[in-house]
Amino acid sequence: MFVSDRAAILHADADAFFASVEQRDDPTLRGRPTIVGSGVVMAASYEARAYGIHGGMGGRQARLLCPHAAWVVPRFSAYVAASKELFAVFEETAPVVEGLSMEEGFLDVRGLERISGSPRRIAERLRAQARERVGLAVTVGVARTKVLAKMASRAAKPDGLLVIEAAEEVDFLRPLQVEALWGVGEVTAEKLHARGIHTVGELGRRDEAELTLFLGSHAARHLHAIAHNHDPRPVRRGRRRRSVGSQSALGGSPKSRAELEARLVALVDRVTRRMRGAGRGG
């Protein structure tokens, strides 16, 4: 598969999407720690994240960490509308856009220099358009490969732009902590740490066969390739993957199996009702 000899793949990602939409629509929330959710944190603004709050955290713990945070009930219709506006900007920026979620996607801008300028200039214009037309901050990473572009955008957050040219790839990758790699979660990171692997450079010095022994063949192949910046996957236009969710606070008191099953059935019913209403399957 052809890989460009220069950075021309963009990974664009709206910062703290759900919380940012709420702050955009309610000026009293701007600059304040903002949490979207009720019993459980669904999303947190960067002001809230500064207190250690993150998605999936229980409401009780979040309130202990930041008692003065503003809590907002999720408004899914607002997030869907903002997503459509955001992807309209993406589609006007590049001929090939691959959506990853409601707020992020890859854009292939190869061959656009003569009409749109350099990839950096294109990324700058995309960020400005997202701010002006959608009212949201978008961080962009630019690199030769999809995986490196995504890692670049993660490193540039919040509200930043990072371009990694071919000559800079090794210097960017080697010192990174393995947690920064796309696909490395807490469990995988613990397995790597237990074997003295803390940075991407250390990971790259291990054989794939050795990694397979404790990670499994799929994860070992994936991480070994990333550590050497091997990612020939092109940006592919297709249907955007979108999530449909529902949540319900359980509280701190013990629950019987029957109570949990009843709550689960209610959540499944709510999610499938939303999917049917949107004409979607999964």
Single-letter code of the amino acid located at 33:
P
CA pair distance 174, 167, nearest whole angstrom: 13
- Find the helix packing angle between 17-25 and 76-93, rounded to 10°: 100
Q: What would the two tokens of residue 204 be?
A: 């790259």
User: Bridge partners of 34?
Assistant: 70
Q: What would the two tokens of residue 210 be?
A: 């050795």
Cα separation values, 153 from 163, 176, 189, 235, Å: 9, 14, 20, 16
Q: Map tokens 């950096």 to a residue.
A: 120
Which of 22, 98, 103, 104 is the catalytic position? 104
User: Bridge partners of 44?
Assistant: 35
Residue of 175, 186, 184 lying closest to 211 (CA atoms): 184
* Distance of alpha carbon 149 from the chain centroid: 12
Residue of 108, 37, 123, 122 lying closest to 73 (CA atoms): 37
- Is 104 considered catalytic here? yes
Contact 96, 235 (CB under 8 A): yes
* Distance of alpha carbon 32 from the chain centroid: 22
* Catalytic sites, residue numbers: 104
